[in-house]
Amino acid sequence: MTKMQEIIGKILTSRITREKANNTLNVEEVTNTLNIFLAGETITSEQYAEFTEMITPVTTTTQTAETNTTTTRASTINTAEVTQQ
């Protein structure tokens, strides 16, 4: 890794960390920047993988009582509609 790649790496790490903390991270914009830097060999493929992991949003699926209630209500409504027909 060259000195320039190290410096750019620190700058990108700082940018991503700051934007995540401020809730202003634009994943598409950062991805485009990373792609350009990787294509120009300004960052290494290892750095690219690290940054990509940093910007990948974490999603979780949860099931709440409200969701269950909504599902139950929908089933009840559907049953009532069938009974009326």
The predicted-structure confidence for 5-57, as pLDDT tens digits, reads as follows 999 999 999 999 999 999 999 999 999 999 999 999 999 999 999 999 999 87
Neighbours of 51 (CB within 10 A): 22
What is the pLDDT, as a whole number, of residue 42?
96
Better-scored residue on pLDDT, 80 or 31: 31
Using the predicted structure, report yes or no on whether residue 80 has a pLDDT greater than 80: no
Alpha carbon distance 75, 72 (integer Å):
5
Using the predicted structure, report yes or no on whether residue 58 has a pLDDT greater than 70: no
Sequential DSSP letters for 26-41: -HHHHHHHHHHHHHTT
The torsion angles phi and psi of 41, rounded to 5 degrees, stand at 60, 30
Alpha carbon distance 59, 79 (integer Å):
34
Is pTM beyond 0.75? Reply is no
Alpha carbon distance 60, 12 (integer Å):
26
